[in-house]
Amino acid sequence: MSKITKSLIHTFTGRYAFVIINLISMMTYARMLTPEEIGVHVIAIAASSIIIELRLIGTGSYLIKLKEVKKEDTENVLFVTLCISLFLGFILLSVSDWLSDFYSTPGMSAVIDILFATFLLSPFTAVSQSFFARTFNFKTLASINVLSALFSFITTVFLIQIGLSYLSLAIGVLASHTFQFFAHFFLKSEMVSWVPKPGNFKSILSFGGILTIITFINKGLESIPELVLGKSLGTDASALFSRGLGAVKFSNETVLGFVSPIITPYFSEAKRNGEYATQAFEKASSHVTVLIIPILLSLAVVPDLTISLLFGPQWLEASELMSILCSAFAIKAPTQFLKNLLIVEGKELYILLVKLFSFLIFIILALTLGVESLLKMAYAFAFAQIVEMAAFYFAVARCINFNFKAHFTKQLKSYYIALICMLVTFGLSRVSESLQLSLIAEAFILAIVLSVTWLALIKVLKHEVADTIYQLIRGVPLLKRLKLERFFLN
């Protein structure tokens, strides 16, 4: 079995264990806390998330991209990251009271005070995570992520039970970071040093600088709706948008999450071996879009069902905006890994230009239309996603020898499958409504029927993901004994 296939199996297993824990966490918190309580945490996270993400300045991708990594490289990266992280952490701490007053939400400052501790821990774990990713040791990474999520969930639920309300969510985040810190301390490679030493500033900052700005923009796109709505319509509006976007991102990252960690290492290895990174991109992209596009467009048909199951009926106001966002993410899906491709090709500047352009469009729409209602904010966010997709294609056309005809031909199969899945979802939802089935029964029937429909369609259309599934089944002894791979043979 190839290194890539093994990595996929480990990330698949770990990611879906993480997804299950995350799903249970979201469902539990949404029922134990009110929208107003969660809104306090959401606004605090939104206000600080930009700085939280900036602290790592793209150093993970820097270590992955290096042709050869020495222990000295990890020490230099740790020094730069730690200095920047602590500097940003103290800035956030100094403005926490002002942010609390600005949003008239006293609890915000306490949440930010708790999150400050993560600024000390993250640089150490980030260096170790990057080295594990570079060496395709995703089994260890997956184990750490799953166990830290479980530890965070147990801690948070316990704290909510004893009455700490929204503070429980912040302490849960800190608990996760603490667990990861100690796990990486005991499991990190001998090549990874946790002794920060100054050096190689120019290379690290010149590479990480562009990715830092890109990260800033990405977090801005996610945080601005919650910040604007929190100020104009209140903490409950901020929480509703967060839950609607969260449901879409949860569905999106359920698929993307298990392949995203290996994409940049996969493209980089292909390039180091003298292959075309664009070919690796096409293979990865077609494998992912055939999964994520049908899921997103099917969910867009039944948003009430999704929101009710995930968060409960008190969050149904987020249903309509969820449909809008699902559609936008589905349209944008084929460009998901273009950023990784541009990084590997050394064209990070183009990513920055694309992100700046779409960010500017969104800022204008959010501050003019988005302030009026949740729905208008959703349309503003969705439009910015479509603009970003178009801009990425334009950038790739300018700087990479990219076969657009082959790309779009492959992606059409994903949309054909998605269209049929949407029609099946619509029909089943109408039948379920007429029979007055419970939410759980409707969801179970949809999951079974859509899974069978999807498998039949990839077989009929001869999509290349069928061959990958065949290889994965042959790699799992139990599934191989059941002879399930026969279905995927041409």
pLDDT of residue 20: 82
Neighbours of 314 (CB within 10 A): 14
Q: State the DSSP code for 196.
A: -
Packing angle between helix 35-54 and helix 235-272, nearest 10 degrees?
30
Q: What is the pTM of this model?
A: 0.73
pLDDT of residue 57: 58
**Structure tokens of 268?**
């980089």
In the predicted model, residues of the chain with pLDDT beneath 70 are: 1-16, 50, 52-62, 64-65, 204-212, 255, 257-277, 467-490
pLDDT of residue 84: 83
Contacts 24+ apart (CB under 8 A), 191-194: 191/69, 191/70, 191/71, 191/74, 191/131, 192/71, 192/74, 192/127, 192/128, 192/131, 193/71, 193/72, 193/74, 193/75, 193/78, 194/78, 194/124, 194/127
Residue in the block written with tokens 């199969």? 413
Separation between Cα atoms, residue 419 and residue 435, nearest integer Å: 25
Separation between Cα atoms, residue 244 and residue 28, nearest integer Å: 16
pLDDT of residue 273: 64
Neighbours of 345 (CB within 10 A): 17
Q: Which alpha helices (H) appear in 55-166, and where do they start and end?
A: 59-65, 71-102, 107-115, 118-134, 138-161
Q: Render pLDDT for 169-192 as a digit per residue (tens, 0 to 9).
A: 999 999 999 999 999 888 887 788
pLDDT of residue 197: 84
pLDDT of residue 53: 64
